[in-house]
Structure 1
Amino acid sequence: MGIYKLREDFTFAYVSPVWCRLNNIKEQDVLDHPHLAINIIHPDDQDYFLQKNIETLIQKSSFNETTRFIINNQIRWMRIQSKPHQDDQGKWFWFGTITDITEQKQAEIEFQQTKDQLQNVISSLTEVLWSISVPNFKVIYVSPSVEKIYGIPLKEWMEDYTLWSQFIHPEDQGIVDVIWQNMETKGYSQTEYRIVTHEGEIKWVSSKAKYVQNEQGIIIRIDGIVTDITENQLIKIALAESEARLKNLIDYLPGVAYQCLNDEDYTAIFISDEIERLTGYKTEDFITNQISLQAIIHPDYRNNVRKQINQFLEEKKCFEIQYIITTIDNQELWVYEKGRGVYDRNAQLKHIEGLIFDITKQKNTETELQNINQQLIRKEQMLS
């Protein structure tokens, strides 16, 4: 810290050795030529610095400014502080200090740059980041994207932390209790619910929140993030409705719909409930691999069924085959299966899908007709 004494006419009465070292000016030079102290001030700061000095002299007030200096071709930040005094003759002078705060200032500038960059990133996010203090529940921060999701000015959110619950859809209001229960029991909450915006638009949001503790383990705030998941949620709803309609359609099919891997067991990926009526085995028995589609094929037909299916898959054609299966109570049934391979973009087989129909009655009828036909043939031969 350098020390100086400045007269009312802008001449120096004293400068300390540290002042000289900080400014790279010899003591006698600045005492003889006070303008040298002005010359080292950054050109962009000189006018302002001189104006503040003049105001200080006129008002006989204290001086406290941070200014850039150019010393040895390097920019240095200096804090200059002084207070007015009068000597025995009533003449005014300012006794002050100069401190090099370059490192501190650079750190402040870097911090501000980082803060600005972070703010730019946050401002570009579609998610709402928020933070409230505990236990007084004052809003510390809400990101600007809150206006886009809820349609309410940021200022209103900063003034009332309860706004989030006021926008929850009437049918989803019970989620408030769920959130607070999760916070108290787990320390965090993750939920999805509907909101009604200021314009009356219904949106789906994902809400995450957690308690933040200090070093003593005391909860000091709640941090959270709200994400607009309307588009994804509507897709999920549409898919669920589509799957429900497809399931209803499959349930009315007279046969078994399935998807399976082309492995040793024809492991089931999906199989309709009709499989229970056909075989006696439950759907979940196939999904959990307690029984397989391969296992219900009669042993006499297994090799031939696999051979036929593989041949059609290699040719990437649909297949139609007939064979006998064995049910849970060891009954033998004839089935007709129609299926195809499902391939990825690289023409690699993903799985097989198809339908299986019970044709036992049809086969029995065919057998009876064949027997009758053979009997007629024998009678004709006897009469001739």
Structure 2
Amino acid sequence: MMALLKWPIKNTNKELSERHLWQLFNSLNDVVLALDKDQKILTVNQCWQNLTGVSVDQSLDLPLNHFIHPEDINQWHQLLQRLSPDQSELIWFRLLHSSGEFRWCEMRIQSMRESSLYPLSATLCDITPQVRNEQIRQASHRSLQSLVNRLPAMLYRTRNNISWTIDYVSGGCQALTGYSTDELLNQLEISIGTMIHPDYASYVWEGVQGALQQYSSFDLEYVLVQKDGKEIWVRDKGHGQYSESGVVLGVEGFIFQTQRKNHD
């Protein structure tokens, strides 16, 4: 069995015994542990078993990296190398469960003494639900982005200037214009404004500005000049972005190729 630590107890509080303090220690919902100079577990509370599926008695005197996911051990060693007695460090890693699954943990670790690095004390918080939710959001974002980039159209967000400087553009820009996203983003020399045929520049500007003033959407057709100089008819549908006070922050929409002009 693990040896009890000596807890500082005020003489005025006789009822708060060492046993009560251990009950408090083991009631915590986060793991609290201490490590020796070989990073072996000196003591740990009962929450550890919930996180790893391994009992406290079976875990004592085992190095912590015995429970860390193999892909995360290197960053654990890197943390130990930069740790000093006067600082604490924060790290995320996966802790292996006896079932074969793993749990994402956030660890705060620091020295227990001012004069030497060891022993170390650490708290571990199970952040698996948050990480999984974030992974789901990222996967959904990647799926949506992939869908957007496969569309036979160019989704965009621009500034409301005469050049229509591009702040965002989807991967469909390559097929539509011949330009890559890198060639179009935040460029003054190449923008939607420079690709609009000169005969339609005023028509587009006035059409968009009129819609912005009315807080309505626009639907325009015009000739766009591709990178190789080829002229194509496109349809441009979009609307403005506004601040809470009604100031125009930008314009967003999508452009796709049409076969013929629908109006004079």
Aligned residues: 227
CA contact (8 A) 1:8 1:57 kept: no
Aligned counterpart, 1:197: 226
Partner of 1:125: 151
The one-letter amino acid paired with 2:83 is K
- Is the aligned partner of 1:107 residue 2:130? no
Query: Aligned match of 1:60 in 83, 88, 105?
Result: 83
Determine if contact 1:131/1:142 at 8 Å carries over to the other structure: yes
Measure the CA separation in 1 of the matches of 2:246 and 2:98: 49
* 1:144 CA displacement: 1.3
Cα distance, 1:167 vs structure 2 = 1.6
Match of 1:116 in 2: 142
User: Partners of 2:196 and 2:158 in 1: how far apart?
Assistant: 19
Of all paired residues, the percent bearing the same amino acid is 18
Whether 1:164 and 2:229 are equivalent positions in the alignment is no
Question: How far is 1:87 from its partner?
Answer: 5.4
Structure number with the bigger relative contact order (C-alpha 8 A, sep ≥ 6) is 2
Distance 1:102 1:3 in 2: 18
Distance 1:29 1:23, change over 3 A: same
Q: 1:5 to 1:216 in 2, by over 3 A?
A: farther
Please state how far the C-alpha of 1:189 moved relative to its aligned partner.
1.2
| Structure having the larger proportion of residues in helix | 1
Aligned-partner Cα distance in 2 for 1:180–1:217:
14
2:174 counterpart residue number = 147
Q: Where does structure 2 lack aligned partners over 5 or more consecutive residues?
A: 1-29
For residues 260-314 of structure 1, the C-alpha deviation after alignment (integer angstroms, 9 at most, x for no partner) is xxxxxxxxxxxxxxxxxxxxxxxxxxxxxxxxxxxxxxxxxxxxxxxxxxxxxxx
Tell me: CA distance 1:70–1:30, structure 2 relative to 1, closer, same or farther (3 Å): closer
| SS of aligned partner of 2:125 | strand
* SS across alignment from 1:199: coil
TM normalised by structure 2 equals 0.73
Shift in Å at residue 118 of structure 1?
0.8
Q: Mark the CA change 1:156 to 1:71 in structure 2 (over 3 Å): closer, same or farther.
A: same
Distance 1:207 1:25, change over 3 A: same
Is residue 211–residue 219 contact of structure 1 (8 Å, CA) maintained in 2? yes
CA distance in 2 between counterparts of 1:20 and 1:169 reads 69
Equivalent-residue separation in structure 2 for 1:127 and 1:180 (angstroms): 23
Other structure's SS at 2:236 match: strand
Match of 2:24 in 1: none
Does the CA contact (< 8 Å) of 1:77 and 1:102 recur in 2?
A: yes
Matched, 1:206 2:240: no
Alignment of 1:325-364 (within 5 A): none
Alpha-carbon distance change, 180 to 6 in structure 1, aligned in 2, over 3 angstroms: same
AA in 1 matched with 2:186: E
The one-letter code matched in structure 2 to 1:8 is K
Structure 1 residues 106-163: Cα deviation after superposition (integer angstroms, max 9, x where no partner): 111111111111111111111100124679x874420011122222231232113771
* 1:228 has 2:257 as partner: yes
Match of 2:105 in 1: 78
Tell me how far 1:202 sits from its aligned partner: 0.9
Change (3 A) 1:72 1:134: farther
SS in structure 1 at match of 2:206 = helix
| Greater C-alpha radius of gyration | 1
Q: TM-score, normalised by structure 1?
A: 0.52
SS class of match (1:180):
helix
Greater shift, 179-188 or 111-120, is seen at: 179-188
